[in-house]
């Protein structure tokens, strides 16, 4: 263990704890004012931010980083504007802190209520995209949480420039020092130290690829909210409207294939397969999708390559689709139970009972009837903003809006009651 780094991070943790105590009591007005000042600062310091991003981009190219990763890392004038707008959008959302979720009176006269409070200090571990720095700072500030940010080492210069702008925007304001802090090192050991910071972090939220998320889940002593991995399925039932089924599958696979709510495996009822697969398959192939199918799929669609066991397990995040013809809804449910990652699952059907059964029996964060899996998103759900998509069951499940960054406390009004 690097004791010096550890001491530094623990000092950041102590500062965050102190800040959180004050932040939790800050009225919405003051938080919103800070968010708007931060938005202005990001725009004003665009040149510095882009110059810092240029350094990150050159280093990344020098290390031979792939095109997709480079694109995530890249900032330009439009993206900086997008970050500023994200801050403004969070500013106008309602503040969940202080909401009395419910309140009731007991027979002895005690009035008992649950009031929404911040979690305290949030730790975020993420990868190349610098806009996560802004989003996380905004969502945590809005909910009265302090946040310690650990972005990807490849984005360090960009993140330093962003945090500098955000920090200058609120210097001299009522926002306590340490409300948002970046871990200012590229050393990987910083993550391992964060895992141990149970005294300073109330929750750790990893955002990124499966490798990062698993490393956090398996090693953190701080409670984690698991996000993101989505091996999502669409099941076309025998009663499906073929046109609707085709549009939904094409949308879920091709509209944005690199994200967690894109479909990865298509299950087709055998009575529907002959009618649907040839046309749908051709259209997907024309859109550049590689099909990997079971034996029956291959018979109906000569372009299909054979699917292996591995295909059923894979989140491609690319223009690849595994296709399996199934005997029944039962088989589809079993396949999803076995290979799904409990993210987003959809059925296309016109049958009432089977729609109902699918909704009841599929165990996932989001279960759809006759809609694209791509809708699993805080904005699309109307939650206003999103810190990630939880695939676990504790605390938060599905798209995580502002409320998921809060807890409750019981407040009890008495008149001298004692327990008998």
Give the footprint of its own copies on this chain (CB under 8 A): 21, 24-25, 104, 106, 110, 112, 117, 119-120, 198, 202-203, 217-218, 221, 223-225, 241, 244, 247-248, 250-252, 255, 337, 359-361, 363-372, 374-376, 380-382, 392-395, 397-399, 407-419
Shortest spacing between CB 27 and its own copies, in angstroms: 11
Closer by beta carbon to its own copies, 130 or else 401:
401
For the chain, the straight-line distance linking the first and the last C-alpha, in angstroms and rounded, comes to 53
Distances (CA, A) of 62 to 54, 57, 58, 160, 224: 12, 8, 6, 20, 34
Strands 146-150 and 290-293: unpaired
362: nearest Cα among 406, 394, 330, 388:
330
Cβ atoms of 124 and 207 within 8 Å: the answer is yes
Closer by beta carbon to its own copies, 24 or else 152:
24
Closer by beta carbon to its own copies, 34 or else 346:
346
Distances (CA, A) of 255 to 121, 249, 263, 280, 329: 36, 10, 10, 15, 27
- Taking the alpha carbons of 351, 352, 357, 358 in that order, is the dihedral positive or negative? positive
Shortest spacing between CB 198 and its own copies, in angstroms: 8
Shortest spacing between CB 157 and its own copies, in angstroms: 33
142: nearest Cα among 382, 383, 377:
383
Closer by beta carbon to its own copies, 85 or else 219:
219
Shortest spacing between CB 226 and its own copies, in angstroms: 9
Shortest spacing between CB 79 and its own copies, in angstroms: 21
Closer by beta carbon to its own copies, 316 or else 368:
368
Shortest spacing between CB 110 and its own copies, in angstroms: 6
Count the residues in the chain: 420
Cβ atoms of 399 and 389 within 8 Å: the answer is yes
Closer by beta carbon to its own copies, 239 or else 407:
407
């Amino acid at each position: 263990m690097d004791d010096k780094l550890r001491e530094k991070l623990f000092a950041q943790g102590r500062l965050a704890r102190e800040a959180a105590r004050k932040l939790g009591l800050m009225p919405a007005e003051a938080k919103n004012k800070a968010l708007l000042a931060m938005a202005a600062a990001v725009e004003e310091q665009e040149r510095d931010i882009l110059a810092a991003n240029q350094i990150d981009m050159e280093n990344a190219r020098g290390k031979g980083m792939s095109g997709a990763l480079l694109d995530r890392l890249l900032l330009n004038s439009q993206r900086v504007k997008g970050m500023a707008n994200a801050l403004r959008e969070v500013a106008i959302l309602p503040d969940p802190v202080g909401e009395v979720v419910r309140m009731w009176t007991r027979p002895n006269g005690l009035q008992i209520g649950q009031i929404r409070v911040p979690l305290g200090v949030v730790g975020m571990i993420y990868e190349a995209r610098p806009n996560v720095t802004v989003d996380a700072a905004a969502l945590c500030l809005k909910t009265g949480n302090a946040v310690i940010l650990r972005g990807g080492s490849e984005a360090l210069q960009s993140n330093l420039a962003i945090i500098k702008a955000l920090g200058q925007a609120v210097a001299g304001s009522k926002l306590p020092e340490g409300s948002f802090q970046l871990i200012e090192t590229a050393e990987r050991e910083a993550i391992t130290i964060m895992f141990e910071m149970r005294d300073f972090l109330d929750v750790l939220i990893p955002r990124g690829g499966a490798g990062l998320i698993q490393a956090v889940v398996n090693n953190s002593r701080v409670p984690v909210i698991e996000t993101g991995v989505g091996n999502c399925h669409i099941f076309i039932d025998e009663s499906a409207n073929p046109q609707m089924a085709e549009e939904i599958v094409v949308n879920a696979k091709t509209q944005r294939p690199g994200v967690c709510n894109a479909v990865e495996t298509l299950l087709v009822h055998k009575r529907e397969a002959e009618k649907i697969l040839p046309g749908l398959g051709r259209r997907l192939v024309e859109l550049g999708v590689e099909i990997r199918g079971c034996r029956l799929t291959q018979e109906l669609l000569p372009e299909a390559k054979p699917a292996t066991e591995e295909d059923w397990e894979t989140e491609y995040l690319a223009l690849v689709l595994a296709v399996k013809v199934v005997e029944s809804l039962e088989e589809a449910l079993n396949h999803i139970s076995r290979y799904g990652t409990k993210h987003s699952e959809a059925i296309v059907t016109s049958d009432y009972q089977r729609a109902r059964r699918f909704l009841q029996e599929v165990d996932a964060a989001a279960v759809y009837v006759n809609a694209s899996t791509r809708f699993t998103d805080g904005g699309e759900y109307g939650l206003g903003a999103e810190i990630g998509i939880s695939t676990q069951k504790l605390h938060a499940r599905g798209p995580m809006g502002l409320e998921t960054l809060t807890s409750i406390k019981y407040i009890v009004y008495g008149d001298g009651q004692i327990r008998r």
